[in-house]
Amino acid sequence: MPKRVRSKSCDRCSIPAEILYRVQYDDSGRWKFVCLTCYPIVSRNNPAYVYGGTWKAEKY
Ligand SMILES: [Zn+2]
C-alpha cells in the first residue's frame, strides 16, 4: 500500500500545516481552513466568524 499523506494549506497565508481550523470568517458562507497563526487573527472581533472543527493530517 502506498503511503498516503494528506496535506492542506492555510487558506489565508497558504502555508501547509498539519493542523488547521475549519472556520467561516467572512459573509461568503464558505468554509475555509486556517492555520494556528491565522486563527486568532480571523476569529478576533469578527461577527462573521463560525467555528466548524479542527482538521488534522493523518499520521500515515
Ligand atoms: Zn495561515
Q: Give the tens place of pLDDT for each residue, 5-55.
A: 678 999 999 999 999 999 999 999 999 999 999 999 999 999 999 999 999
Q: What is the pLDDT of residue 12?
A: 97
CA 31–ligand 1 middle distance (angstroms) = 14
CA 2–ligand 1 middle distance (angstroms) = 29
CA 38–ligand 1 middle distance (angstroms) = 4
Q: What is the pLDDT of residue 60?
A: 55
**Residue 24 half-sphere exposure, CB side, CA atoms within 13 Å?**
10
- Rounded CA-CA distance 60/47 in Å is 37
CA 3–ligand 1 middle distance (angstroms) = 26
- Rounded CA-CA distance 24/15 in Å is 18
Q: How far is CA 19 from CA 10, 48, 52, in A?
A: 9, 22, 13
